[in-house]
Structure 1
Amino acid sequence: MERIHKRTVHEIFIRYSKVARIDQQHFSAHKLRHTFATLLYSQGVDLLQLKSLLGHAHLSTTEIYTHTSANQLKEAIMKHPLSRIE
Structure 2
Amino acid sequence: LVQDVAQKTNEVAGDGTTTATVLARAIYSEGVKNVAAGCNPMDLRRGPQAAVDKVVQFLSANAKTITTTAEIAQVATISANGDTHVGNLIAQA
TM range (shorter): 0.3 to 0.5
Alignment TM-score, normalising by the size of structure 2: 0.31
Say which one has the larger Rg: 2
Which structure has more relative contact order (CA 8 Å, sep 6+)? It is 1
Bigger share in helix:
2
